[in-house]
């Protein structure tokens, strides 16, 4: 195979951190090449340089033997490099055709483009209606828009950033079939992920990044997932320890919970019912955008619902706001750390006050007790090993993992009866993720009813006792997590929605 893209000594530094340190690797034509690394290993910076969004400080690239240094994404696209983003590249209020046109250099007139979209989407088994508003699409469909946008430009190199995080297992299989077909046609694919099994299934070669440096490369099919994980993290990982113990009485009962969406492109919750017992972890899976945020809001009290839709030990609490719920020990930690779970510009002390004022007695008759708030923040920092110079530092100055430990720790230390967390380890490095999962297991062990909403199925299988899936605002009946197959989980999540296997034979 001939080399398509060669990267030599690429370096990019940001204040206080070298994101990429002399990174070198190459991709052959028609190869599916994995870029493997933890959050913060420098994968994003590297592909942004290849796509022309960020300019390297040093190093060079060659594409098909010619020097390649795209000053901006349009130059990269002109050279045949396309990218499917994990976030941030679709426009909700525009329709599919307009979204696709925006990602092309010289789009054809709209009517011709719409016809092309239908044609290509059917060839690759990714049906799409060009006239629909993107805001109304599911996460999987939105990704199709991104992929079709790339395919319409006949790319030689397709970069995919964490593409499966928004797909059900069945949809992942279909995506992989599409990618294999593309590779067979000669398109190289740079596949970024931290999901090891996927890389073993799909990729021909893997380059492993750690702390901005290339630490290894291998044929992932010849390695076990554990070996790959060790290369990625640089240390042996121990799975969290689960205590035995049988669950106690039902603490939280949700029955017939419905909640119309409050935003134009949000998801409505429809007739959700489940129970959680003391000492039990209920895992709720599902692809992004199927009602996770809304469910958290209904459980935290940010969104009020019918009083008897949510019951704590038989008492209706659905109509209570966040503060009264905290008073009765129903606590929550939302997904978005900056701006929802924590105020970015406020200090950790102030952020401790944000949810702990009531249960920790940080205010008396409305007047704040700053020393007590500071002491509580310090307690969280201490107990959860949050790396920061002190509680006076702003939340946004912490790394994702450290802030997440603070956010989870802040709730755990308030002795909840019920704790609801959404995406507790999203964008968090492996060691922080492990300690957060352990903290949740320990909390359940001590008798708390825990609900973990997550899109990371491995995580849910690791820690939950029972599993349920959200799909378009509905919740599947929970089932014991042990013994569930990936196939079954995928079906609970809605299967392949309306995708179909690519016509590989043609």
Please report, as ranges, the residues that interact with another protein according to CB under 8 A.
Answer: 15, 44-45, 48, 52-55, 71-74, 77, 85, 88-94, 98, 101-103, 107, 263-264, 300-302, 321-323, 326, 332, 334, 336, 339-346, 350, 353-355, 357, 363, 366-368, 393-394, 396-397
10 Å CB burial of residue 1 (0-12, 13-18, 19+) is: exposed
Tell me the β-bridge partners of 60: 8
Chain centroid to CA 500: how far? Answer: 24
CB of 56 to another protein, least distance (A): 10
The CA distance from 467 to 486, in Å, is 12
> Among residues 185 and 367, whose Cβ is nearest to another protein?
367
> Among residues 245 and 371, whose Cβ is nearest to another protein?
371
> Among residues 234 and 265, whose Cβ is nearest to another protein?
265
CB of 463 to another protein, least distance (A): 24
Q: Please state the three-class secondary structure of 409-465 as a single string.
A: HHHHCCCCCEEEEECCCCCCCHHHHHHHHHHHHHHHHCCCEEEEECCCHHHHHHHCC
> Among residues 43 and 277, whose Cβ is nearest to another protein?
43
Q: What is the DSSP letter of 243?
A: P
Residues 417 and 427 sit within 8 Å (Cβ to Cβ): no
Q: Please state the three-class secondary structure of 352-412 as a single string.
A: HHHHHCCCCCCEECCEECHHHHHHHHHHHHHHCCCCCCCCCCEHHHCCHHHHHHHHHHHHH
> Among residues 349 and 471, whose Cβ is nearest to another protein?
349
> Among residues 65 and 339, whose Cβ is nearest to another protein?
339
Residue 177, token pair as written in the block: 């079939």
CB of 412 to another protein, least distance (A): 17
Residue 118, token pair as written in the block: 């239908």
> Among residues 340 and 379, whose Cβ is nearest to another protein?
340
The CA distance from 159 to 76, in Å, is 11
CB of 296 to another protein, least distance (A): 9
Residues 350 and 343 sit within 8 Å (Cβ to Cβ): yes
CB of 369 to another protein, least distance (A): 9
> Among residues 355 and 471, whose Cβ is nearest to another protein?
355
CB of 299 to another protein, least distance (A): 12
CB of 422 to another protein, least distance (A): 11
Q: How many helices (H) does the chain have, and how many strands (E)? A: 16, 23
The CA distance from 324 to 375, in Å, is 24
> Among residues 357 and 436, whose Cβ is nearest to another protein?
357
CB of 473 to another protein, least distance (A): 18
CB of 98 to another protein, least distance (A): 6
Q: Please state the three-class secondary structure of 290-340 as a single string.
A: CCHHHHHHHHHCCCCCCHHHEEECCEECCCCCHHHHHHCCEEEECCCCECC
CB of 397 to another protein, least distance (A): 4
Q: Which residues neighbour 375 within 8 Å (Cβ) at sequence distance 6 or greater?
A: none
Number of CB atoms found within 10 A of residue 192's CB: 23
> Among residues 233 and 312, whose Cβ is nearest to another protein?
312
């Amino acid at each position: 195979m001939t080399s398509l893209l060669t990267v030599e000594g690429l370096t990019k530094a940001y204040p206080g951190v070298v994101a990429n340190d002399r990174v070198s690797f190459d991709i052959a034509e028609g190869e599916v090449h994995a870029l493997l690394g933890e959050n913060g290993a420098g994968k994003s910076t590297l592909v942004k340089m290849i796509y022309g969004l960020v300019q390297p400080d040093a190093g060079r690239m060659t594409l098909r033997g010619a020097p390649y240094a795209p000053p901006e994404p349009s130059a990269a696209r002109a050279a045949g490099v396309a990218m499917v983003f994990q976030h941030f590249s679709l426009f909700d209020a525009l329709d599919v055709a307009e979204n696709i046109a925006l990602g092309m250099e010289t789009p054809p007139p709209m009517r011709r483009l719409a016809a092309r979209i239908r044609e290509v989407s059917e060839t690759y088994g990714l049906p799409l209606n060009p006239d629909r508003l993107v805001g109304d699409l599911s996460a999987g469909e939105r990704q199709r828009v991104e992929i079709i946008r790339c395919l319409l430009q006949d790319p030689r190199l397709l970069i995919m950033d964490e593409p499966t995080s928004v797909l059900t297992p069945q949809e992942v299989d279909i995506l992989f079939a599409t990618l294999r077909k593309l590779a067979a046609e000669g398109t190289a694919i740079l596949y970024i992920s931290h999901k090891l099994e996927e890389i073993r299934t799909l990729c021909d070669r893997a380059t492993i990044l750690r702390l901005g440096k290339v630490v290894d490369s291998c044929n992932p099919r010849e390695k076990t997932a554990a070996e790959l994980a060790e290369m990625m993290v640089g240390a042996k990982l121990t799975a969290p320890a689960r205590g035995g113990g049988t669950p106690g009485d039902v603490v939280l009962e949700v029955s017939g919970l419905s909640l119309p969406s409050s935003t134009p492109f949000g998801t409505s919750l429809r007739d959700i019912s489940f129970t959680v017992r003391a000492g039990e972890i209920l895992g709720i899976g599902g692809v992004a955008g199927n009602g996770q945020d809304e469910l958290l809001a209904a459980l935290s009290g940010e969104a009020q619902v019918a009083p008897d839709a949510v019951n704590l030990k038989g008492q209706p609490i659905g109509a209570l706001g966040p503060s009264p719920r905290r008073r009765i020990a129903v606590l929550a930690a939302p997904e978005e750390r900056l701006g929802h779970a924590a105020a970015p510009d406020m200090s950790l002390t102030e952020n401790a006050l944000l949810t702990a004022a009531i249960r920790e007695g940080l205010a008396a008759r409305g007047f704040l007790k700053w020393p007590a708030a500071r002491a509580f923040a310090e307690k969280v920092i201490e107990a959860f090993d949050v790396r920061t110079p002190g509680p006076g530092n702003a939340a946004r100055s912490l790394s994702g993992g450290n802030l997440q430990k603070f956010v989870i720790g802040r709730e755990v230390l308030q002795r909840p009866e019920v704790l609801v967390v959404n995406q507790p380890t999203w964008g968090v490095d492996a060691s922080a993720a492990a300690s957060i999962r352990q903290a949740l297991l320990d909390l359940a062990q001590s008798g708390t009813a825990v609900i973990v909403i997550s899109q990371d199925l491995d995580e849910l299988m690791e820690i939950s006792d029972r599993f349920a899936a959200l799909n378009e605002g509905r919740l599947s009946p929970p089932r014991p997590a042990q013994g569930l197959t990936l196939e079954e989980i995928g079906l609970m999540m809605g299967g392949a929605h309306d995708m179909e296997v690519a016509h590989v034979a043609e």
